[in-house]
Amino acid sequence: MITAFRSLCTLGVTHGYSSEGCGDFGFLVPADTALLLRNGKLLAKTRRGRLHLLFEADEGGTPLRPLAGATLRFGLQLINPTFSLVTEPVAATPLYRNGTNPATLDSPLTVELIERLYGHALSRTERPATVALLDAADREVMAATVTAEENRSSVGFDLRAYPAGRFRVEERYPAETVATECYLDPEMQAAGIFGMVELTIDPSFYATPPAFTLTFAAKEEILNYYLVVGKYTDAEFASLAVVDTGFGEEHRPEIVFDRVESAAFGGQELALSMLARSGEQVVLFRSRTPVTRQERGRKNIQLRKNGDVLIKHLPQVGAADVNGDVVIHISKP
């Protein structure tokens, strides 16, 4: 019999900052998923930042060991140290699942990574409070009630007999229930993961492999060009301007800059003492709206004097820059 490997699904990452593929993450395979892969004759291969899951099939394309209904779990390992500087804020420890539509990832849940011996601190002082632990199927597996007479503010759960995965803790007070999403996986927790992905295999995957994608938005911020100018006359200094002439060519919105004189600087601007030496003048050109960070620099954001181009392509904010401040020194000989 002739066998071959065929695509079951793929998992990739896109980022608004990157001009090409996003290589910010690696994929970790927990021990239980590694066992499932072996039992289901599946391979997990990473290529160019995308995880490929392949199944072994006969010559007719029929999987040798179908795993329809099984859930594969993968840890997201962040490998780009500047990720947070170029990314809009992401909730701590996101969990991605294909629970609603098998071929699409739901919006991520924010989960708390927990140990097998888990102590949950109650968020309120009202009593009595019943604290219940529910599994991923919303079945209550443990519960404890804290009365007003008890002098304790937390409840402990022993999860050593339970498999890794998602749990929910419900604090049930007389007038309200407070829920916390948790995730049990000491192996992934020890690896310092960024988040988790759970992919439940649908029978349709074997015929039509879906391409799952995690999408991250690039950071938006005000772009500030601080010009530190030496040996310019007052008229020359007043004629300086920052103008975006590249928006049409690059098919993007125009970036409009407002001129802010140093006399109007306040607490949000850089201190003049940090920027200029004696005899130098400072002026700020601030973008009127937030600008999205991007890996490929925008062209033709120009510094001009009396309409003449001094700098054709002003520098952009880099991946390692903490904010949108760019300081430029210009001077006559």
For the chain, the domains span 3-111+187-216, 114-185, 221-331
Which residues are paired to 4 by β-bridges?
57
Give the global pTM.
Answer: 0.91
Compute the mean pLDDT over every residue in the chain, rounded to the nearest whole number.
Answer: 96
**E strand or H helix that includes residue 133:** strand 129-134
Over residues 191-228, the pLDDT tens digits come to 999 999 999 999 999 999 999 999 999 999 999 999 99
Superfamily holding 114-185: Macroglobulin (MG2) domain (2.60.40.1930)
| pLDDT for 21 | 79
Helix (H, G, I), strand (E, B), or coil: what is residue 272?
helix
In sequence order, the 6+-apart residues with CB closer than 8 A to the CB of 230 are 279, 280, 281, 329, 330, 331, 332
| pLDDT for 272 | 96
Over residues 163-197, the pLDDT tens digits come to 999 999 999 999 999 999 999 999 999 999 999 99
> Using the 8-state DSSP alphabet, how is residue 87 labeled?
B
Over residues 28-47, the pLDDT tens digits come to 999 999 999 999 999 999 99
For 16-64, the three-class secondary structure string (H helix, E strand, C coil) is: CCCCCCCCCEEEECCHHHHHHHHHCCEEEEEECCEEEEEEEEECCCCEC
| pLDDT for 218 | 97
Positions in the chain whose pLDDT score sits under 70: 1
| pLDDT for 1 | 61
Q: How many residues does the chain have?
A: 333
> Using the 8-state DSSP alphabet, how is residue 9 labeled?
E
Task: List, as one string, the DSSP characters of 193-245.
Answer: -SEEEEEEPPGGGGTS--EEEEEEPBPEE--EEEEEEES--HHHHHTEEEEE-
Which residues are paired to 11 by β-bridges?
51, 212
